[in-house]
Chains A and B, each alone.
Chain A
């Protein structure tokens, strides 16, 4: 079987699974959180995997948009769809500003610029009155979609959330497969050549930055609606590190990679305490009981392992395995 034929089947099964999830015992809020991070990671990967730009400032879009949506919905009484729109637009605007500075430098310098600018936004968020400082923005109501559909039920919210994420995901797929996406890949492979072919690569990079930031903002807005709060931890640089990790674990070369990576990382963080308790029981080493408090250590270790031994990520390995098998069986592509 060839990878290209398998992919639609995989996505179809995934979507069916997600539609059925609330009825087979999955906790809707947890799955929604997962969906938000999956969307966030996919948006991030548009830059890393398809344009070759490592942004270490995506927390700014996630957290910035989360605050804007929270403020719009809670203080101005905006409806959820307007809140999402406001968040997405603010993400795009932040992306425009950050991208404009970032594309002035190449490679690792660009990464450091994104990190520094995001840190600036973090300090701003810490001091501005409307973010609630250390406490964050609490008690954001979900409200009624288009003034009609009450989102306070988790189940209703779940399907709205799923629909938004699927639409945004399809938008990213469309972007990647468009001529614009092809140019982005060209820039990633060889920027000087793309320039010599007459492409204004800076404009392409900037637009990719804006799209990625807008969708990351959408993910942050959605997260605020789902959970009912926006906090400093979303604008902190560790949130940027988090999304890099998801993409790295899942595999940055493919569309499905960040989805898988987000699921693995979020699930791991939620279950790590239980995992530690289990290990403690099995090995009778008490230290494992504290694993739940040591998420940072485990996350750091995963980072190191991924970089040293596992750079293709989960999806990358699977695809490589399928291709090897395909080639071995003589089917080719």
Chain B
């Protein structure tokens, strides 16, 4: 079967690849939104934390022989600890300042982290094998579904929904949302806001690292792998607006799919299509699809 001269299986496989990218956009923009909500910091280092997740997974495999499934839990925890250190050492000094300082501080941090690993590993890609359990593909009749890619999409969506549930439906999430609205009042009710802020940043970092682990077998692992991704995620955040958790998830996934389609029909534009959509959204709905202008 063909649609506009493109075979159906080829299109579906690009679509799946788009969903894989979209999963990463969703997890990363979700983390950015949660961090921005409570810390008022646009975390430029999110791409570097994503890279750390992937690179730590690769390092554990090549130096210690630790497998993928262990790292799926361990890498986010380790990067979460890195997040605690970053927040305690650096970020907490700048909350009262203009937003731009948070962006610049995390940009500097990104350059340091990426620079250090680049001086060790260079810029060429480090290969990471797909875990045995998820090797191969399943024939669905209308398309060949690579197991690992399907896993990435499912795992990401589960993590995103879980995060949404915790933030929107639990007491912990209620504190978090209240802290976003009015931290001083929440503190007056006896909630330890500074600790909450630290843990929020650590959680965002861990989310980014989780995406990084998922990405290790799909993308080439390199110290710079987060660099271009984070800029696309910024565009995703502008399109979706950071006000809504579900909005971030849907925007991320949706844009991944659009990007996948673009790769099929007009490959030259696939690297710019998200930015074009951003421009269009700015014209039609300046506050973003799910956003409320403050």
Q: Which residues of A contact B (CB under 8 A)?
A: 54, 56, 101, 104-109, 111-113, 115-117, 119-120, 123-124, 126-127, 237, 241, 244, 248, 290, 293-297, 299-304, 306-308, 311
Contact with A along B105-126 (1 / 0, CB 8 A): 1011111111110110000000
In the bound complex, do residue B108 and residue A112 qualify as a contact, i.e. CB atoms below 8 Å apart? no
In the bound complex, do residue A297 and residue B235 qualify as a contact, i.e. CB atoms below 8 Å apart? no
In the bound complex, do residue B238 and residue A109 qualify as a contact, i.e. CB atoms below 8 Å apart? yes
In the assembly, what is the distance between CA of A123 and CA of B93, in Å?
36
The stretch of B68-76, B94-102, B196-204, B209-217 in contact with A is B94-102
13 extra A-B contacts, CB within 8 A, seeds A296-B112, A297-B112, A304-B90 = A56-B103, A101-B283, A104-B286, A105-B287, A106-B293, A111-B103, A112-B234, A119-B228, A296-B118, A300-B111, A301-B108, A303-B107, A311-B97
Name 29 interchain pairs, CB-CB below 8 A, sorted by A.
A54-B103, A56-B103, A105-B238, A105-B287, A108-B42, A108-B100, A109-B238, A112-B234, A115-B234, A116-B231, A116-B278, A119-B232, A127-B268, A248-B104, A293-B119, A294-B119, A296-B114, A297-B111, A297-B112, A297-B116, A297-B119, A299-B111, A300-B115, A307-B94, A307-B101, A307-B104, A307-B105, A308-B93, A311-B97
Q: Which residues of B contact A (CB under 8 A)?
A: 42, 90, 93-94, 97, 99-101, 103-105, 107-116, 118-119, 228, 231-232, 234-235, 237-238, 268, 271-272, 274-276, 278-279, 282-283, 286-287, 293-294
Q: Chain B's nearest CB lies how many Å from the CB of A240?
A: 10
Residue of B nearest to A296 (CB): B115
In the assembly, what is the distance between CA of A241 and CA of B106, in Å?
12
Q: Chain A's nearest CB lies how many Å from the CB of B136?
A: 34
In the assembly, what is the distance between CA of A308 and CA of B112, in Å?
15
Q: Chain B's nearest CB lies how many Å from the CB of A123?
A: 4
Contact partner of B275 among A108, A119, A293, A299, CB < 8 A? A119
**A123 with B231: in contact, given A300-B110, A300-B111, A308-B94 (CB under 8 Å)?**
no
**A112 with B111: in contact, given A244-B104, A297-B116 (CB under 8 Å)?**
no
Residue of B nearest to A127 (CB): B268
Contact partner of B272 among A106, A115, A120, CB < 8 A? A120
Q: Chain A's nearest CB lies how many Å from the CB of B279?
A: 6
In the bound complex, do residue B238 and residue A113 qualify as a contact, i.e. CB atoms below 8 Å apart? yes
Residue of B nearest to A113 (CB): B238
Could you say which residues of chain B place their CB within 8 Å of the CB of A115?
Answer: 231, 234
Contact partner of A104 among B100, B228, B231, B282, CB < 8 A? B282
